[in-house]
Amino acid sequence: MLKISSSNATYFLCDKEGRIYDASLSAETMLQYSHQELIKTKRIFNFFHKNIVLNEIKRWLALSKTNHQKFHSVMKRQDGSHFTAYLSIKPIKNDNKYYLISITRKLSMNPTTLLPTANLRIFFTKWSLIIRAKFLLGTIIPLLFGIVWSIQYVSVTNFPIDILFAIVIGALSFHAAANTFNDYFDWKSGTDQMNTNYLLFVSGGSRAIELGLISAHVLLRFSIISFILVFLMGAYIASIRGPIIFLIGGIGAFSAYYYTAPPIRLAARKGFGELFHILCLGPLFISGTTYALTEHLSAVDFWIGTPIGLLITACLWANEFPDIEADAKTGKNNLAVTFSPYATALGILTLLILSYTIPIISIIYYELPALLLTPLLTIPFGISATTTAFQIQNSRDKIANLCLKIFNVYFYYCLLYIISVSIAFM
């Protein structure tokens, strides 16, 4: 490991993801942390003011091998107080890894002069991270498929705009509740604090509590409010379509809350969390949407959504990989913890094979149009993702690449699936 031999400079030695690998004594004193509390435990982002931390993360991730940035920022100490600092960040090369030295000089400038005025852009940026808006496609895609399936296959008449509105609000609120409950209980169980190996904004949750964007009790309050909104939308739909909506919604609510919540904690039960993930973000979501819009519920409505659930769960399985160490230590025995890297690759391969097989079975058994085979055009993407899955081992770059490739399979498969359904039954 590279170290900087300087007794006078105040510096942090970080990798490209901001993880601190070395720090000078003056840097430790400045932040009020011991060497053991900082090294390979904290990231440089943990020490920026909450109102600018997302901008500083964006600045950091934009650094390339040749960039050299100098800027003023507001940093925070362990006791919660803030100070203004001048940072000079340079990339350096060592053993084919690029480390970024951050040399910090404390200034007497009032920190408030550098903090941006609260505005809507900051508000939406903050909350989009808290609810993990970048993962909204996991909710939007099955919702869109369910709507298209209801219109094209079931041939809904007198399209219920009011029910559609309730479904959309309920689905988005469900997404927010599930992710924030997940973050809250991972924080309370110590999983997030233990997890120093996460891929930023890919695995390990939103990190919103750790970054100071929101407190745990406010996050819990937001989760409960989101759940109440889900219940209200479900109650409205049930008042029109009947109590079966409560059964479908109840299964979803159970899995969203108890995915990481004690005492059930589905994510720690060696695959049960992933099974509910397949069910709720695939067949249950789509058949529930179809029933709410059309009062039609059949085996084909359930079956046709299964590939979507399988593929989004393949994404989840890949995203679990960077967090294995922390998850194992806190008893969160998900599939990535339970199985070896090789078995995980086989598992992802199995999910992909099933996803490509189901449209073929659908055409043969349910006599659906052959156009539903269109998603099979993504098989080359699936082969590429699977090849990467068998190569990951402990390579963070390959793990990140796998997460991206699996998501691309999910996105393009589902896009073609939605398009094929919208055309096939015209």
Residue among 237, 267, 81, 64 at smallest CA distance from 161: 237
Q: What is the pLDDT of residue 3?
A: 59
* Whole-structure pTM value: 0.91
- Residue 325 CB neighbour total at 10 angstroms: 13
Length of the chain equals: 426
Percent of the chain with pLDDT over 90: 60
Kindly state the average pLDDT of the residues 256-274.
95
- Tens of pLDDT along 91-105? 777 665 667 777 777
> Nearest 10 degrees: CA dihedral of 237, 262, 142, 206?
120
Predicted confidence band of residue 116 (pLDDT cuts 50, 70, 90): confident
Kindly state the average pLDDT of the residues 198-208.
79
- Whether 247 shows a pLDDT value over 90: the answer reads yes
CB 301 within 8 A of CB 286: yes
The region of weakest confidence among 273-282, 288-297, 319-328, 383-392 is 319-328
Distance (Å, whole) CA 223 – CA 177:
5
CATH of domain 11-113: 3.30.450.20
Query: 82 is written with which tokens?
Result: 């803030």
Nearby residues of 276 by Cβ (< 8 Å), 6 or more positions away = 254, 255, 259, 266
- Whether 128 shows a pLDDT value over 60: the answer reads yes
Tokens 């992933």 identify what position?
274
Predicted confidence band of residue 246 (pLDDT cuts 50, 70, 90): very high
Nearby residues of 374 by Cβ (< 8 Å), 6 or more positions away = 416, 417, 419, 420
- Whether 4 shows a pLDDT value over 80: the answer reads no
Q: What is the pLDDT of residue 106?
A: 76
Question: Where would I find the beta strands (DSSP E) of 33-119?
Answer: 69-76, 82-94, 97-107
- Whether 16 shows a pLDDT value over 70: the answer reads yes
Kindly state the average pLDDT of the residues 322-350.
92
- Whether 35 shows a pLDDT value over 80: the answer reads yes
Kindly state the average pLDDT of the residues 75-97.
82
Residue among 224, 137, 214 at smallest CA distance from 177: 224
The residue that leads in pLDDT, 337 or 395, is: 337
- Whether 384 shows a pLDDT value over 90: the answer reads yes
- 100 sits in the region (left: phi over 0; alpha: psi -120 to 50; else beta) called beta
- Whether 290 shows a pLDDT value over 60: the answer reads yes
For the chain, what is the mean pLDDT? 90
At residue 390, φ and ψ (nearest 5 deg) are: -80, -5
Q: What is the pLDDT of residue 288?
A: 96
Helices marked H in 3-119 = 25-31, 35-38, 53-61
- Whether 199 shows a pLDDT value over 60: the answer reads yes
Helices marked H in 189-215 = 191-194
Predicted confidence band of residue 411 (pLDDT cuts 50, 70, 90): very high
Q: What is the pLDDT of residue 402?
A: 93
Tokens 């939308």 identify what position?
233
Give the neighbor-by-neighbor strand order of the sheet with 69-76: 20-23, 11-14, 97-107, 82-94, 69-76
Q: What is the pLDDT of residue 280?
A: 96
- Tens of pLDDT along 43-68? 888 999 988 998 888 888 777 656 77
The residue that leads in pLDDT, 88 or 250, is: 250
Residue among 167, 177, 51, 181 at smallest CA distance from 119: 51
Query: 114 is written with which tokens?
Result: 């550098």
Q: What is the pLDDT of residue 119?
A: 83
Distance (Å, whole) CA 14 – CA 40:
9
Query: 162 is written with which tokens?
Result: 């009011």
Q: What is the pLDDT of residue 2?
A: 57
One-letter amino acid identity for 306? Answer: T
Kindly state the average pLDDT of the residues 270-282.
95
Kindly state the average pLDDT of the residues 196-218.
86
Distance (Å, whole) CA 103 – CA 386:
41
Q: What is the pLDDT of residue 8?
A: 61
Kindly state the average pLDDT of the residues 328-350.
93
Kindly state the average pLDDT of the residues 241-260.
95
- Tens of pLDDT along 133-153? 888 999 999 999 999 999 998
Distance (Å, whole) CA 148 – CA 171:
16
